[in-house]
Amino acid sequence: MPAILNYLIHLILAAGLLIVFFIIYTRVTPYDEVLLIRQGNHAAALSLGGALLGFSATIASSLMHTADYQQFFAWAFGAMVVQLLVYLVTTRLLRMSKDQIESNNSAFGGLLGAISLSIGAINAACIS
């Protein structure tokens, strides 16, 4: 396969997975991140930004450590499931997350973002 075609397949798959993650993540959360961010809510931006960066780390690791696009997709999809499960467990343990994000508690949003980044980094390392 020509290198440019291989590149395009991986790029399209990675972008598609990131979009799918964004859609699922924003539907799983009990608040509307996009609306809150448009209203200037820093907590929602920190939480969502951390989740996207954490998942992007797993995508990058999957791209670097797999031989072909099928293997890449499988690892990245598995990492997406882990990332979403960790969010669900975390918010169940920290029951007040909806109220904290909606009231623009930046410290809480930063905590959720940091947890997502941490899991993303661990997830990425496990793929390597």
Dist. CA 127–CA 7, nearest whole Å: 20
DSSP H helices, 29-68, are 33-38, 42-65
Handedness of CA 116, 89, 61, 59 (dihedral sign): negative
* pLDDT tens per residue across all 128 residues of the chain: 788 998 999 999 999 999 999 999 999 999 999 999 999 999 999 999 999 999 999 999 999 999 888 899 999 999 999 999 999 999 899 888 999 999 999 999 999 999 999 999 999 999 87
Q: Are 118 and 54 in contact (CB under 8 A)?
A: yes
Q: Are 61 and 128 in contact (CB under 8 A)?
A: yes
User: Exposed, middle or buried, 8 (CB in 10 Å: 0-12/13-18/19+)?
Assistant: exposed
Q: What is the pLDDT of residues 1-25, one digit of tens each?
A: 788 998 999 999 999 999 999 999 9
Domain count of the fold of the chain: 1
* Residue 85 lies in domain: 3-127
pTM to 2 decimals?
A: 0.92
Dist. CA 3–CA 23, nearest whole Å: 30
